[in-house]
Structure 1
Amino acid sequence: MIRLSGSFSFSSFPQRVLWVRRAFILVGLIVLLRSLYMQVVERPALELLAERQHNQIKSIKLQRGPIFDSLGKILAVSLPMNSIFAIPGEVEDVEKTASDLSEILKMDPVVLIKKLKAKVAFTWLKRNNKPQVSEIIKEMQLPGVHQLVEYQRFYPLENLAAQVMGFSGIDSQGLEGLEVYYNKHLMNGKKHQFDLETINLIKDDNKYSGGALKLTINTQLQYYVAKELQIAVTAMKAKHGIAIVIASDSGKILAMANIPDFNPNHFERFGQATYFNRAVASVYEPGSTFKVITIATAIDNDVITPNDIFNCEKGAYQIQDRVIHDIGKYEWLSVDKIIQKSSNICAAKIGQMIPRPVFYKKIRDFGFGSTTRVGLPGEVRGRVFDYQKWSETDVATMSYGHSISVTPIQLISAINSIATGGILLQPYIVEKVLKADGSLIPQKKRKEKRIIKAETANVVKNFMVGVTQKGGTGYSAHIPGVEIAGKTGTSKKFNSKKGEYTSENFLSSFVGFFPANAPKYTVLIIIDNPRQKYLGYKSASPVFRKIAQQMIQHESNINPSKMDELPLPIDIKNILFEQGAVEEINEKNLPKTIKSIRSRVINKTMREVLKVGTQTGLKFKILGSGKVFSIQSSNQLPYDYLVKLK
């Protein structure tokens, strides 16, 4: 008899078959459930993946709307540029393609090879290329290499009002300044739809996709302001400079400058700190310019009269553990002389006389502790502590501009209320918001509020005129024949490491308006941490005077009687010529005969030929490489001439 080793027995075989069947059924169920899951749950994601792999739709941002100054001059515009991309699966010879492109695109061939070998449906090679580059690549007819029109933001006036304008990135998305604040409006939320399978735009529109902005900024005045501010900051070895000019009767911002500035066309070359618009986003202790607010509050609430006289303690006055000093050792000063001589001691005494709830309310009425809603990103509120937390020292020092933090835009708005007869106007920088077709989008009515009596404003204005007269701290702002109302300011900067105010760092300022009898312009100058001439009357006041002189001399350019309507849409070529980006195309520039053309291009390189094309407006079809040896008229539209190189 044959015996089988092991535990196997024929009697257990049916059970083993049963278990195998069960296993097959279980596996089948798992496969079925997975299939159902993919069909129902993962189907949308899989379809999207398939679309990306086989028929990718690429979204390209449309053209941003333009930004103009108050006279219709272009501050920002989007220009059509050709961007080069590849579909790696279509590239036949990666190494040769990379070699051919590297010189034209000025890119490392190793980088290009990596891009062309990438396991993706789409890859950018180089975006926003000049037309000459685009033409050359088009002639090369490289398999898998394509191009499409994108839009590059261009700032014709470069650094001018850079912190106000801000900039947009390579995908036309606003990143800083007005570009980000009005991004939705300028973009209008639309995109190009680009089909990678057919290499065609699904939707194209040559008009602006977004709306336009017309600003209150006057570029001529902005130039004067920025120039004088730059000179002052450099000469005084200061850290920063800020200047704001507003139309006194309306609150329009005519100029807003920050030094250092930057070129938004090449924003990546500058540090992020330079993007910061300190005119609205920085806070500082205003120093003696705040005495105007203290004295206006006291007079308006009948705490003092304009004829009162105060003891100035011969230059030193102790409150609790603090000794307050004046530069001059004055004995007695009337209220107008307190402003003219800028007495800290007398301002502190007047501040202490004002009931705290009254003082606090009036400070808030002047706009401190709240944003002005000027229409710029990053605006902050400043800091005004609740009056219930004020100590005697706080009240005293706040009266001459310490223990309170304000923004430059808040201060100029508050002082401008003296120029308007006691009415606080909302400052603004965008005059009009327009749709893509040029029609006006209605804006909310700008706020205005009476905060002091007209009589009070008139009295304080006359006090401020005395500041710029002989004997006043702001005499360096004086202009013969023009009555100027102003106030100097010098404040020590708080050293957070030492926990005290030091005599090492100062902030100097001057704020004023002119002509005093019928104010047109209000101007604020701030010089941050000047290493030379740190007092306000030595640093900021002279800058005010120089800017005011320019404004008086060129007033017809600042405030024209009639403004042209905005030209929408804009002719891009005219923009480029107007801003000096290309040379004028006229009869003088155009060669008359092929002989004169030949003399300009024979033995020239491809780059030199393209430059001639830019200068003359002629289009060349270029064949070969090296230098030009032949030129003839072209019968192939849109080319004017056929140029051969070897």
Structure 2
Amino acid sequence: ISIAIGHEVAVTALQVAMAYGAIANGGYLMKPFVVKEIRDREGKIVQQYYPQRIRRVMDREVANTMAKILERVVDKGTGRLAKIPGYRIAGKTGTAQKPLKDRPGYSNSKFIASFCGFFPVDQPRFLIFVMIDEPHPAHSGGHVAAPTFKKILERILKIYEIPPQQYTSVEETHIGENDKFYVPNLVGRRYDVAVQILDELGLNYQLEGEGLLVMKQEFHSDSETPQVVLTMARKMDDEEKVTVPDVRGLSVRKAVSILSFRGLRVHLNGSGRVVKQSLDPGLQVRPGTHIWIACESTGDLPVEIRVTN
């Protein structure tokens, strides 16, 4: 029984994070790494490192089901203190008794509280594992580690300027008595992102119209093969434009991450911290617009800059 509830099994924080990462990555166990790339003094990339799959440890369907269960933990279960309105988060709390040092058994006063979660549920980008040794007076993962996870993620959302997601929850669509399909709201998403989400969920889909933006979504369950019908549009409306952030003073890595998340195409000149950017902060542009950033090693921008809307 002790093993069944988690005792007598020791794992490192990295191992826990890798296990949850396998769920977030559709069932694939990934090799962890901390260095993305190595550059020389001139800023040229000498070596790059990329995510590597170790092996598949669970079926994609199992991973998707687990992700939905973990989302409900945050939404209605013991992980409620990790919840951030407008953002879909999956995670699980942990509360472990520490073993006694002078005799067999486990302490009733010393604990390890933990919470591991990832965001967003449908297209995970961030995974955070919080472990707190001997918290006091509260000791449960839900009351100690989950709020810490929330504070860390709130900081990340602010740094990367990630707005609340366009959908508030997953739509549960009943196909038959025993079958259920979970269809996220894809309206407003780009074609490539929408198709990737549907492929990962194992849903059949049909595209109508032309364009790169999903303007309408329907679910047809009356056929032999239920499918999602997406109506595409050629152009984005004004409300689909993005605001150019001010990345001056930021590191290259942070600037590129923020700009790329906004859907902008980034061109680098130099290395170090950003001293200039070709598009004024606050400017409304369409996703896919090119932006040049100059860093402190050169400080020079291209002679001619063209803005492509």
TM-score with structure 2 setting the length: 0.51
Q: What's the % identity of the aligned pairs?
A: 32
The correspondence for 1:539, drawn from 144, 158, 164, is: 144
Q: Is 2:87 aligned against 1:482?
A: yes
CA distance in 1 between counterparts of 2:3 and 2:267 reads 44
CA distance in 1 between counterparts of 2:267 and 2:15 reads 29
Please state how far the C-alpha of 1:436 moved relative to its aligned partner: 4.6
Indicate conservation of the 8 Å contact 2:112/2:139, yes or no. Answer: yes
Residue correspondence of structure 1 range 313-352 to structure 2 within 5 A: none
CA distance in 2 between counterparts of 1:399 and 1:565 reads 55
Please state how far the C-alpha of 1:401 moved relative to its aligned partner: 2.5
Residue correspondence of structure 1 range 337-376 to structure 2 within 5 A: none
Partner of 1:450: 56
Please state how far the C-alpha of 1:502 moved relative to its aligned partner: 1.0
Q: 1:539 to 1:440 in 2, by over 3 A?
A: same
Please state how far the C-alpha of 1:466 moved relative to its aligned partner: 1.3
Letter in 2 for 1:517: D
CA distance in 2 between counterparts of 1:425 and 1:462 reads 20
CA distance in 2 between counterparts of 1:437 and 1:549 reads 35
Please state how far the C-alpha of 1:565 moved relative to its aligned partner: 5.9
CA distance in 1 between counterparts of 2:269 and 2:100 reads 51
Indicate conservation of the 8 Å contact 2:36/2:50, yes or no. Answer: no
Letter in 2 for 1:453: D
Q: Is 2:10 aligned against 1:405?
A: yes
Partner of 1:310: none
The correspondence for 1:463, drawn from 56, 65, 69, is: 69
User: Highest Rg: 1 or 2?
Assistant: 1
Partner of 2:135: 530
Q: Is 2:271 aligned against 1:567?
A: yes
Q: 1:518 to 1:410 in 2, by over 3 A?
A: same
Instruction: Report the aligned-residue RMSD.
Output: 2.4
Residue correspondence of structure 1 range 42-53 to structure 2 within 5 A: none
Partner of 1:553: 158
Q: 1:565 to 1:539 in 2, by over 3 A?
A: farther
Structure 2 gaps of 5+ residues are 162-246, 248-253, 261-265, 273-295, 297-309
CA distance in 1 between counterparts of 2:49 and 2:28 reads 19
CA distance in 2 between counterparts of 1:409 and 1:565 reads 36
Q: Deviations over 1:101-155 (max 9, x none)?
A: xxxxxxxxxxxxxxxxxxxxxxxxxxxxxxxxxxxxxxxxxxxxxxxxxxxxxxx
CA distance in 1 between counterparts of 2:15 and 2:268 reads 32
Please state how far the C-alpha of 1:462 moved relative to its aligned partner: 0.9
Structure 1 gaps of 5+ residues are 1-395, 569-577, 579-646
CA distance in 2 between counterparts of 1:515 and 1:416 reads 12
SS in 2 for 1:442: strand
Residue correspondence of structure 1 range 410-449 to structure 2 within 5 A: 410-442=15-47, 446-448=51-53, 449=55
Q: Deviations over 1:254-299 (max 9, x none)?
A: xxxxxxxxxxxxxxxxxxxxxxxxxxxxxxxxxxxxxxxxxxxxxx
Q: Deviations over 1:291-329 (max 9, x none)?
A: xxxxxxxxxxxxxxxxxxxxxxxxxxxxxxxxxxxxxxx
Letter in 1 for 2:112: L
Q: 1:490 to 1:480 in 2, by over 3 A?
A: same
Q: 1:565 to 1:407 in 2, by over 3 A?
A: farther
CA distance in 2 between counterparts of 1:452 and 1:491 reads 26
Letter in 1 for 2:132: I
SS in 1 for 2:144: helix
Indicate conservation of the 8 Å contact 2:26/2:64, yes or no. Answer: yes
Please state how far the C-alpha of 1:474 moved relative to its aligned partner: 0.8
Letter in 2 for 1:414: A
SS in 1 for 2:71: helix
SS in 2 for 1:531: coil
Please state how far the C-alpha of 1:473 moved relative to its aligned partner: 0.8
Q: Deviations over 1:397-422 (max 9, x none)?
A: 33432212111111111101111111
CA distance in 2 between counterparts of 1:498 and 1:445 reads 47
CA distance in 1 between counterparts of 2:98 and 2:87 reads 33
CA distance in 2 between counterparts of 1:407 and 1:517 reads 27
Please state how far the C-alpha of 1:435 moved relative to its aligned partner: 3.8
SS in 1 for 2:3: helix
Q: 1:530 to 1:482 in 2, by over 3 A?
A: same
The correspondence for 2:121, drawn from 516, 519, 531, is: 516
SS in 1 for 2:62: helix
Q: 1:552 to 1:442 in 2, by over 3 A?
A: closer
CA distance in 2 between counterparts of 1:445 and 1:536 reads 33
Letter in 2 for 1:530: P
SS in 2 for 1:463: helix
Please state how far the C-alpha of 1:553 moved relative to its aligned partner: 2.8
Q: 1:554 to 1:435 in 2, by over 3 A?
A: closer
SS in 2 for 1:421: coil
CA distance in 2 between counterparts of 1:446 and 1:474 reads 29
Letter in 1 for 2:56: R
Letter in 2 for 1:526: M
Residue correspondence of structure 1 range 69-218 to structure 2 within 5 A: none
Please state how far the C-alpha of 1:533 moved relative to its aligned partner: 0.8
Please state how far the C-alpha of 1:445 moved relative to its aligned partner: 5.9
Partner of 2:98: 493
Please state how far the C-alpha of 1:443 moved relative to its aligned partner: 5.2
CA distance in 1 between counterparts of 2:93 and 2:269 reads 40
Q: 1:550 to 1:438 in 2, by over 3 A?
A: closer
Please state how far the C-alpha of 1:498 moved relative to its aligned partner: 2.3
